[in-house]
Amino acid sequence: MKIKKVLVCDTIHSKGIELLKNEEDIEVFDASSYPKDELLDILEDYDIAITRSSTPVNQAFLERAKNLKAIVRAGVGVDNVDIEGCSKKGIIVMNVPTANTIAAVEMTMAHLLACARSFPNANNDLKLDRVWKREKWYGIELYEKKLGIIGFGNIGSRVGVRAKAFGMDVVAYDPYIDPKKAIDLDIKYTENFDDILACDFITIHTPKNKETIDMISYDEIKKMKDGVRLVNCARGGLYNEDALYDNIKSGKIAYAGIDVFVKEPAINNKLLDLENISVTPHLGANTYESQEKIATQAAGQAISAARGSSYPNALNLPIDESKMPTFVKPYLELVQKMGSLTAQVSKAPIRTLKIVAEGEISKYLDSLMTFALVGSLGESMGEQINYVNAEFVAKEKGIKTVTETFKGDSVFKNRIDIYLSTNKGTVDISGTAFGDDIQRIVKFDGFSLDVEPKGKMIIFKNTDVPGVIGEIGTILAKNGINIADFRLGRNNKSQALAVILVDNSVTKDVINELSKLEACIDVSYVIL
C-alpha cells in the first residue's frame, strides 16, 4: 500500500483532520500554524495540499511544490490560487462549492428581512442610543412582493424556495440553467434581464467573472423601481459600489443588505456611512455547521485525489465544465469512479472500454469516455494517466473505446453503463445521479443494487444459500472490520451479490478468508 502525503496549509475544522488521519493510506500533516515562508520549505514532500484563503498559491508556492498532484481549496473562492500556473505544472485544482450553501442561503434571508424591516437600525436606536421610537421604523412586508433572483444555482434556487414560503412572487434569471429547474419549483423563469430590474427586491448569486463584475451598475439601477431593495451575499463587485452608494444616498434604492465588498476587510468603505443599509463582514459561510462540512468535504476530496479515483469539483480540467449544464458534472465524477471500480475488480489488461448512455447525458459521451479512461487506467498507471493524455495512452495500449447511445425506455432520466473487457471476461456496471451531488451505482455484473460509490468496499458474489451474510459478518468482526453499509442483489441464477462498505482497510488475508467460504464465487476489495 503506497502512502500518500497530504499537507493542510490553513486551519480547517478538526473533523477534516480526523477524517484524513483515519485513512491508513494517507499521511497528514497540519501545518496551519506555520509561517508561510516556512510552509514553502516543506512543500516538496507532499502529494496533496489543502488550503484556504490565507495561503497564496502563487509562483513561489508552485516552484517549491515539485511533487504536488492536486490542491483542494477548502471553500468556494479561488482568488488566491494561480489556476493557470497549476495547470502548466499538471496540478489539479479543486474547490468545495456547496458546503456553505445553507449558511449562505440563510444569510441572504436575514438580509432580505433586514431590507424589509430595518432591524439593524431599530436595534441600534434602542440598544445603543436608548431611543424608543416605534413610529420611526415602519417597514414593508415580503408577502406578495416580487423578488428577482440573479443566478439560480445551489444557493439562488434555495433562496427562491424560502422566499416562496414567505408568499413572495419569485422570478429567476440564469442563462446557464435549464428553465425547468425554476419552473419545477413553481418559480417564474425569465430570459429578459429587465424582468429582474422591475422587481421589488433583487438578490444576486453568481460567480465573480468578467461577465458578472458590475452586473448591476448605474444603467441597471436607473431601470429599477423607486424604492427597490437589493441584497448581495455572493461576491463583492457584482453590484458596482459607486452606483450602489449614490443610489442608496439618493433614495432610489430604499435599502440594501450587503455581506461582501470589493476590497475586504471593508472597514473604510463609504457604504458604511449610509443609514439605509445593513452590512456584515462576509459572514455567508460563518456557521459551525458549514465549517465542519467544508473541512470534511475538502478532506474527502483530498483522499479521492490522493488515490486517483476522482477529482471532485476540479476547476482546471481540459474539458470546459463551465460550458456544460450543471447536471453533467456529477456524471463525469461518477463515470471515473465506475471505471476505477471495474478495473479494480478485473485486475487484468483492458482490451475494450465501452460506454452506453441514455438521456440528456448521452450528448457528452466524449467527455464521459475521457473520465472513464482516467478511472480505469489509473488502477495500473497511477499518476502517469491524466485527463489530457488518457485517449492517447488508450490508443497506445491498443484499448478499443466504444460509445453508444441507448434509446430504449428505462426508469432513469439519465444513466451510464460501462462494459470493461479483459482476457478474463467483461465486467459491467450502471450508474446514475440525482440532483447535483447524489451518485449511485444501480447495477453491477447483472445484479440490481443501490450503492453510493465511495470509500472502501468488498464485492462478494456467491451462490444464494442461507447463512452467507452471517459468515461474512463473522469474518469481518473477527478481524476488527466495521460494516458501514451492506447492499444485496440477486439474480435468476440462484446467485447473490453483496456490496459491503466498511470503515477499515481490508487485508489480503481477509479477502483470502472470505474467498474460502463454500458459497463464494468471487470476492474483490475496492477503494474509491
Q: Looking at the annotation, which residues are catalytic?
A: 235, 264, 282
Count of CB atoms situated within 10 Å of the CB of 47: 21
299 with 305: CB under 8 angstroms? Answer: no
502 with 475: CB under 8 angstroms? Answer: no
Cα separation, 430 vs 253, in Å, equals: 53
Q: Report the chain's terminal Cα–Cα distance, integer Å.
A: 14
Count of CB atoms situated within 10 Å of the CB of 410: 13
112 with 231: CB under 8 angstroms? Answer: yes
φ/ψ of residue 291, rounded to 5: -65, -35
Which residue in 102, 99, 123, 119 sits closest to 111, CA to CA?
119
| C-alpha dist (Å) from residue 331 to 63, 186, 326, 357, 438 | 34, 26, 10, 11, 10
Question: Residue 98: left (phi > 0), alpha (psi -120 to 50), or beta?
Answer: alpha
Q: Where are the beta strands (DSSP E) in 212-324?
A: 228-232, 253-258, 277-279
8 with 28: CB under 8 angstroms? Answer: yes
The DSSP bridge pattern shows strands 26-30 and 48-51 to be unpaired
Strand, helix or coil for residue 29: strand
| Cell numbers describing residue 1 | 500500500
Count of CB atoms situated within 10 Å of the CB of 215: 17
| Cell numbers describing residue 120 | 439593524
282 with 263: CB under 8 angstroms? Answer: no
